[in-house]
Each structure stands twice: as structure tokens, then as C-alpha cells.
Amino acid sequence: MIITTAKRLDGIGEYYFSKKLREIDELNGQGKNVINLGIGSPDLPPHPDVIRVLQEESAKPNVHAYQSYKGSPVLRKAIAEWYSKWYGVALDPDVEILPLIGSKEGIMHICMTYLNEGDGALVPNPGYPTYRSAVKLAGGECIDYSLTEKGGWVPDFDELDRLAAGGRIKLMWVNYPQMPTGQMPTMELFERLVAFGRKHGILICHDNPYSFILNDLPMSLLAVPGAKEVVIELNSLSKSQNMAGWRVGTLSGAKERIDEVLRFKSNMDSGMFLPVQLAAAKALSLGKDWYDSVNAVYGERREYVFELLELLKCDFSRDQVGMFVWAKIPAAYADGYALSDRVLYDAGVFITPGGIFGPAGTGFVRVSLCTPVEKFKESINRIKSAGI
């Protein structure tokens, strides 16, 4: 008997980092001791008060039952207050917020909620690979829109109008501060995105996990007047609160959108463990001193990443934000994969090839800031020793 997989998996490969981590484990098994500068998983812990809340709440006997699909009112209120304080966005915690088990699941939920077989979804190139795979798994068709260095890593709205002209585009994925390029948003860009969504009847899905990292001006697409008519926004505690493994995210938007996504989500999972939600609420109440302390660490690390990239003769902007540095490779290499492999095999240091984010990233690499300074220093010394 031959067992076959569903057709929805056709063209969906294993996540790049899943495969690469196995290779790195194999190299480490051979004694290579690879330094991984690839993945954006914060190595710093959450605030001690956040951990304390989790410990205290999880010791209580009455917190271990199934939770509401809509999340704890305490967490939804904390999200609303966080959006009001930092983004200047008013959200009704009862109907305009949906806590998620990490924002990555929200990407899938949104695609499954809105895309029928063959519907088009605009996907950034370069961009987060999960947008593409989620669209495909939902039966939709990915329609790339270009982001270029010359264009400042923002969409060409003439191109967007042409792509939307056929009327089959249902939604558009956007992400600012942009990953992998680190491009900051402007209010003008956000206003144009909202106007584009309204003009073509397209749902603008904004993925916003990086707005606090090395950035003093966090922005939400929902801050544009009237944005809730055409925008839903994902956010996450993974990056700015150092809680990646806790799997806490949120979806915000108009009541109608939240209700629609909830119809799908409630058939896929249950609510998060209540102590995790209460600890997340505590994390969202932290003040500017918390974000400043996190950014002081990332700022120091970024200087060493700049030094490393200069050593590799890469070109890059010092104005980018987020927890990565995006850099153009030197002409001596065919693509980012070639440079990444040489650094890995000759120096035992892994940096991410830009091509995994789409064809427009082929000539680039990305370096994560989620590694202690000592590891960056050692990486620099290894690259020097290898003569790269």
C-alpha cells in the first residue's frame, strides 16, 4: 500500500531553518562547534517579574482548565492598553483583540479564513517565508510584489495597482519594520497601504513583531484613520518581550474580522494556559526602561555585526532596525547561499542566505543579533583566521 500526502503539501518544503539546524547539529557532532548567527530567537530572558507571575499563578489549583477561545479578559485589556500607550491606537478589548498561540499561527488562521482555492494573495519579495507557505496551504496563489534596495524596500504602488487590476486579490501581507531588510515604516507609507486596500477591496494584513527593536518610534498600521475598515494587524511578545518560546501573539482589528478569524481558530485549538496569559499581561505593562535595556544589548551587538559584515566586504545600511542586519554580498560570490556556505564550512559560522526570503534576496545575507557579544567576537576572529 502506498500512502501519499495531501496535494496541499505539493511545493511546500520543510522550513529552511529546520533543515539547516539539522545540518549544523551534524557539523557539531563532527566537532565543528558552529556559531549560529542565523535565527532570530532572543537569547535574553523575559523580565523577572514576568517569570514570577508565571510561577505564582501556575502554582494555584484552579488555573489548569481549558480557557476561553477569545483569551483572558486580563490579557485582552493589557493588549488594548499597550496599543493605546505605544501606538496611539484605541482597541475595544472585548471585540477587537484576539490573543494567539504565537503570531505565526495567526498567519495561517488568516489565510484559511479568507482564501478560497485560487484566490490571490500579495506577498512581499523579499519577505518572511511563512506568508508564502500559509497562502499555498490555504489553497491560494502567491502574487509577489517587489521590494528593492533602489526603491527603499517599500512597495511600488503602480506595480500593486497593476497586480490588483484583475480583481482576484483577496489579501496582502505587509511587514514593517520589514523583515529581512530592517526598513522602517513611515506614516505616508501606512496611509498609502490603507488607501490601496480600500481602493481595491483588499484586506491588508500587517505583521508587526519588530516595532520595538532598536527603534524609538513604534508604529501600528491601525493608527491610520479608518484603517480598521481594511486592516488587521498581528503582533507578538516573542521579540520585544523575549518570550519567543512562550508562544503569545495577538490579532487586532475590527470586530467583524476578529469574529471571522475566530470561526476558524476555535476549530483548531483552545485558549492558552491561563498563567501564561497573565504573565504576558505583566510583560505588556513594562515601561520604557525595559525596552531601553533590551535595545542597549542589541545596539552593542549590532556594532560587532557591522564589523563582521565589513570584514566580509558586504554593503549595508546602518539605519535599519529590528533584530537582524541585512547586507548585500560582494560581487565575488554568485549569491548569498555561496557566501553563507563558505562562512559556514571554512569558519564554522552560520549566517542566513537572503534567497530564502524570495528571489529578490538572492544577492544578500542576513545576520541575527540574538547571540552574546563574545560569540560575535569569536566569529570575527574565525573569519579572519579562515582568510575569507
pLDDT digits (tens, 9 = 90+) for 39-78: 888 999 999 999 999 999 999 999 998 888 899 999 999 9
How far is Cα of residue 342 from the mean position of the Cα atoms in its chain?
27
If one counts every other C-beta atom within 10 angstroms of the C-beta of residue 181, the result is 29
Residue 172, beta-bridge partner list? 122, 204
The segments of the chain whose pLDDT lies below 50 read none
pLDDT digits (tens, 9 = 90+) for 119-137: 999 999 999 999 999 999 9
The reported pTM is: 0.93
**In this predicted structure, what is the pLDDT of residue 382?**
96
If one counts every other C-beta atom within 10 angstroms of the C-beta of residue 40, the result is 21
User: How far is the C-alpha of 34 from the C-alpha of 70, rounded, in Å?
Assistant: 42
User: How far is the C-alpha of 25 from the C-alpha of 348, rounded, in Å?
Assistant: 12
**In this predicted structure, what is the pLDDT of residue 2?**
84
**In this predicted structure, what is the pLDDT of residue 15?**
65
Burial of 339 (0-12, 13-18, 19+ CB in 10 A): buried
Closest CA to 128 of 11, 196, 209, 21: 209
**In this predicted structure, what is the pLDDT of residue 220?**
98
**In the chain, what are the domains?**
7-45+289-386 (3.90.1150.10), 48-284 (3.40.640.10)
pLDDT digits (tens, 9 = 90+) for 153-203: 999 999 999 999 988 999 999 999 999 999 999 999 999 999 999 999 999
**In this predicted structure, what is the pLDDT of residue 226?**
95
User: How far is the C-alpha of 195 from the C-alpha of 198, rounded, in Å?
Assistant: 5
Closest CA to 276 of 241, 300, 239: 241
